[in-house]
């Protein structure tokens, strides 16, 4: 009898320790979209009884290997860079991150091309000869985004004055300092709002929605599509219907992240759209029915699959 009581106590203690485990979500620098999104997820997860903290790093290209190794339980990124991480391509050439697993699609990542509100740059083609934030040595994916945007205007890096910046946040700060005429940053980000207030107004440059432009973008960014952003409180700098290069944001884990932990995180995401959107407006476009998608070669974590099957969302 004492052995049974002791075993039950040990089991309860183990469960309690598991519940008290601090869970990390790798995110980008403060002001970045991933930092904002991670803050929203951590808030609702903590309210649901998990112990979650965000762990800011420079960019997904830095922390994808960290999550792959199981050193941080979750990470935020986009479909393009996570695919490249799995396959060992581009920035990860020769270093495949084969332990990565998808947890959920979050929302569309809409990359605006921003200029001053009174700028004479009205189209992508007008960037010819102008100073544009480029390079993104710490965020290689952003360079591919820039190349895709330029291609829609028939331009390459040789056609612009590329001003080297390490990160997307640095590009925005270079714009505020008057060092560049245009920069790329996620629609709706707090940094975009900061830039708008700093320079007295900004404007998103639209991309013509044609099959040719979509094909040109995908030469550099295969996961890209065009999204028409409408003006609104959550989209500073958008003064009319504006087509922007877009791709899905994801939360991912490692196959070493415990199944019950991923199950719980998936449930938190599914049940808390309103709470996340109150912290970060992009979650207004989070849809439970779109949490599952074909992300090949990235496969879903067994913990997420278990939850989706219970909710009738899973499709083989």
pLDDT tens figures, 194-235: 999 999 999 999 999 999 999 999 999 888 899 999 999 889
CATH class of 2-108+249-311: alpha beta
158-181 residue pLDDT tens: 999 999 999 999 999 999 999 999
94-116 residue pLDDT tens: 999 999 999 999 999 899 999 99
Percent of the chain residues topping a pLDDT of 90: 80
Structure tokens at 225: 């599509």
pLDDT at 123: 97
Strand partners, 189: none
pLDDT band at 139 (very low <50, low <70, confident <90, very high): confident
| Confidence check: pLDDT of 14 > 80 | no
Give ranges for CATH 3.40.190.10 in the chain: 2-108+249-311, 110-247
Query: E-strand spans in 83-147?
Result: 100-116, 131-135
Higher-scoring residue by pLDDT: 136, 8: 136
Q: Is the CB of residue 288 less than 8 Å from the CB of residue 273?
A: yes
pLDDT band at 13 (very low <50, low <70, confident <90, very high): very low
Cβ of 296: how many Cβ atoms within 10 Å? 8
pLDDT at 4: 41
pLDDT at 236: 93
User: CA 67, CA 101: separation in Å to the nearest integer?
Assistant: 10
pLDDT band at 20 (very low <50, low <70, confident <90, very high): low
pLDDT at 141: 81
Q: Is the CB of residue 236 less than 8 Å from the CB of residue 202?
A: yes
CB proximity list for 146: less than 8 A, separation 6 or greater: 132, 134, 136, 184
| Confidence check: pLDDT of 7 > 50 | no
Q: Would strands 131-135 and 51-56 be described as parallel, antiparallel, or unpaired?
A: unpaired
Return the closest-CA partner of residue 270 out of 105, 51, 101, 67. 105
| Confidence check: pLDDT of 243 > 50 | yes
| Confidence check: pLDDT of 5 > 70 | no
Higher-scoring residue by pLDDT: 187, 12: 187
| Of the candidate ranges 8-22, 54-68, 254-268, the one whose mean pLDDT is the lowest | 8-22
| Confidence check: pLDDT of 12 > 70 | no
**Angular region, 27: left φ>0, alpha ψ -120 to 50, beta rest:** beta
What is the maximum alpha-carbon separation in the chain? 83
Instruction: Tell me the HSE value of 309 on the side-chain side, using a 13 A CA sphere.
Output: 9
User: CA 167, CA 280: separation in Å to the nearest integer?
Assistant: 21
Q: Is the CB of residue 201 less than 8 Å from the CB of residue 115?
A: no
Token look-up 């985004």 returns 145
Instruction: Measure the CA dihedral 193/196/199/201, to 10°.
Output: -170
User: CA 1, CA 161: separation in Å to the nearest integer?
Assistant: 79
Which CATH number is 110-247's, of 3.20.20.70, 3.50.50.60, 3.40.640.10, 3.40.190.10? 3.40.190.10
Tell me the pLDDT of the chain averaged across its residues. Answer: 91
Structure tokens at 282: 């992009």
For the chain, what is the radius of gyration of the CA atoms?
21
């Amino acid at each position: 009898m004492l052995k049974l009581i002791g075993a039950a106590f040990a089991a309860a203690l183990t469960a309690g320790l598991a519940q008290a485990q601090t869970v990390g979500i790798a995110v980008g620098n403060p002001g970045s979209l991933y930092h904002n999104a991670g803050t929203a997820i951590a808030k609702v997860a903590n309210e649901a009884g998990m112990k979650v903290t965000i762990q800011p790093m420079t960019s997904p290209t830095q922390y994808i290997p960290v999550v792959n190794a199981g050193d941080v339980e979750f990470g935020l990124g986009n479909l393009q860079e996570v695919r490249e991480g799995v396959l060992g391509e581009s920035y990860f050439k020769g270093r495949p991150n084969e332990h990565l697993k998808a947890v959920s699609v979050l929302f569309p990542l809409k990359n605006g091309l921003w200029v001053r509100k009174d700028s004479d740059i009205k189209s992508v083609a007008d960037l010819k000869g102008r100073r544009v934030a480029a390079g993104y040595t710490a965020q290689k994916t952003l360079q591919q985004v820039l190349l895709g945007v330029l291609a829609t205007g028939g331009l390459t890096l040789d056609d612009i004055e590329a001003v080297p910046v390490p990160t997307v946040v640095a590009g925005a700060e270079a714009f505020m300092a008057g060092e560049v005429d245009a920069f790329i940053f996620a629609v709706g980000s707090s940094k975009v709002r900061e830039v708008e207030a700093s320079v007295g107004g900004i404007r998103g440059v639209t991309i013509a929605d044609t099959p040719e432009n979509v094909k040109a973008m995908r030469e550099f960014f295969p996961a890209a599509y065009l999204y028409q952003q409408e003006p609104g409180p959550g989209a500073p700098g958008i003064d009319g219907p504006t087509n922007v290069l877009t791709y899905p944001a994801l939360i991912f884990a490692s196959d070493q992240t415990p199944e019950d932990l991923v199950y719980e995180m998936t449930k938190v995401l599914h049940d808390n759209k309103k709470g996340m959107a109150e912290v970060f407006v992009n979650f207004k476009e989070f849809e439970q029915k779109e949490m599952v998608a074909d992300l090949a070669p990235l496969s879903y974590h067994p913990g997420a699959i278990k939850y989706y099957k219970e909710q009738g969302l899973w499709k083989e």
